[in-house]
Amino acid sequence: MRTARSRLLVAAVVLAAGVFATGSADGAGGPAPQAAVLAPEAPAAAADSCDPTVSLPPRKVVGTKIAKIIERDTLLVGVDQNSYNWGFRNPKTGRIEGFDLDLAHAVAKSLLGNPDKITLKTVTTAGRADALDKGDVDLIARTMTINCEHKIAFSAPYFRIAQRVVVPKSAHAKTLAEALNGKRACVAKTSASETELKRDPHGTVSVRAMENQLDCLVLMQLDEVDATLTDSELAAAQVAQDPRVEMVGEPILPGWMGVGMDQKDTDLIAWVNQVLIDWRASGGWQTSYDHWLRDTMGAPDPYLP
């Protein structure tokens, strides 16, 4: 264990130093030695444990990725347009708004000095890793649950969540088992909920995997499915849009939401982590919560990271 770990450490330091050195060569980078200091933590989080709350230490240092963003003068953000109050297209204005968008604007402001220097691209739940991989987006802010699949690197957590079941009130279900047993369930494709129902079907007779959790609410209203399993904040968003459905049963699979980024972009990951700290400290998190979520989710305490 020890040797494996130390070998990884060496590799990480070399890699990080290389990355940051390139950043400096571009003329926009910070001092390379400093970058090396924070490197040892990264592989520890990735290789040794799967503590989703651990990310790179916060630091505002311009590396390769950030230099590229500055040169481009706009931040490419992957968002959702179907998550009510999180990232949703306001059908009255056609603009995408929500809690996640506030966060994205905060990152843009910190990187480029202007919260509106941002280019939004919607990504599907299934297409997230791909979008980062191909460089279509710099980061993804769309109610993403931090996972340990190592396909995507995550920021530090910015919201605490769990999985909840949504059912029509007419089902009169009280528990998770009543809501799912013998029922037709619906989940978002390649979501944590789908993984859970694959692991344990909870007695469901069928599972429909849709492009988006909101498609599940449509199917539920049209009586094509009986229940939806999704993240608690999205479950709350469904309830907020349809007074005839409710969340039932105990929350399962507690987790955290994080900003998704490419593993190579260590400078951006560290930068975003700093933005998250500043956002909390300046009251931005609270303001956004009050504006978008308090009505449907109540006091913020259970959700604080």
Partner 1 sequence: MTAPAVPQARAGALAPPPAREPGPVARLRRSAATPPGRLRAAGAVLAALVLLFGAVAVWQSVHRSRAAGQVVSASGPLSQDAAEIYLRLADADATAAAGFLLAVDEPATVRGHYQDDLSTAAERLAEAAGRSGGTGDPKLTELNQQLSRYAGLVETARALDRQGLPLGGAYLRYASELMQGTVLPKAQSLAEDESARLDSDYRAAGATPWAALALGVLALAALARYQVLLFRRTNRVFNPGLLGGSLAVLAALGWLLAGTMTAGDDLARGRTYGTRPLRELDQVRIAALKAHTAENLDLVARGASDKYTKQWADLVATLDQDPRTVGSVSGLQAGAPPDAANLLTDAASAYQQWQDRHKDAAAQNSAGNYEAALQRTLTAGGPDTADAAFQDAGRKWKDAAKVEQDAFAKATAGLDGMLTGQAVAAGVLSVLGAAAALRGIGRRLAEYR
Residue among 78 and 284 whose Cβ is closer to partner 1: 78
As a whole number of angstroms, the distance between CA 5 and CA 207 comes to 41
Cβ burial 109-140 (10 Å sphere, 16+ → b, else e): bbbbeebebbebebbbbebbbebbeeeebbbb
Provide the 8-state DSSP code for 189: T
Position 76 contacts partner 1 (CB under 8 A): yes
Strand, helix or coil at 101?
helix
By CB under 8 A, name the one of 49, 119, 206, 287 that touches partner 1.
119
Residue with tokens 């560290």: 270
Least distance (Å) between residue 120 CB and partner 1: 7
* Cβ at position 247, least distance to partner 1 in Å: 16
Helix or strand holding residue 35 (H, E): helix 32-38
Q: Among 241, 263, 286, 296, which residue interacts with partner 1 (rule: CB under 8 A)?
A: 241
Q: Interaction with partner 1 in 120-149: which residues (CB under 8 A)?
A: 120-124, 127, 136
d(CA 236, CA 146): 19
Tell me how far apart the terminal alpha carbons of the chain are, to the nearest angstrom: 31
In the complex, least distance from residue 84 CB atom to partner 1, rounded to whole angstroms: 5
Q: Which stretch binds partner 1 (CB under 8 A): 49-57, 99-107, 215-223, 270-278?
A: 215-223
CB of 299 to partner 1, least distance (A): 24
Element (H, E) at 153: strand 153-154
Task: Tell me which residue has tokens 């297209």.
Answer: 89
User: Is residue 243 close enough to count as binding partner 1 by CB under 8 A?
Assistant: no
Q: Would you count residue 93 as binding partner 1 (CB under 8 A)? A: yes
Nearer to partner 1, 12 or 293 (CB): 293
Binding-site size for partner 1 (CB under 8 A) equals 31
Of 119 and 287, CB closest to partner 1: 119
User: Of 113-121, 259-267, 276-284, 286-294, which segment contacts partner 1 by CB under 8 A?
Assistant: 113-121
Report the candidate in 216, 168, 219 with the shortest Cα–Cα distance to residue 191.
216
Q: Does 292 bind partner 1 (CB under 8 A)?
A: no
Q: How far is the CB of 167 from partner 1 (least distance, A)?
A: 17
246 scored as a contact of partner 1 (CB under 8 A): no
Nearer to partner 1 by Cβ, of 100 and 178: the residue is 100
Q: Does 190 bind partner 1 (CB under 8 A)?
A: no
Strands 184-188 and 206-210: parallel
Residue 166: beta bridge partners?
Answer: 228, 247
* DSSP string across 265-285: -HHHHHHHHHHHHHHHHTTHH
d(CA 203, CA 183): 7
CB of 71 to partner 1, least distance (A): 14
Candidate residues 27, 33, 71, 91; the one interacting with partner 1 per rule CB under 8 A: 91
152 binds partner 1 (CB under 8 A): no
Type of residue at 160: R
Place of tokens 């998770």: 176
**Where along the sequence are the contacts to partner 1 (CB under 8 A)?**
74, 76, 81-84, 88-94, 96, 119-124, 127, 136, 211-212, 214-215, 217-218, 222, 241-242
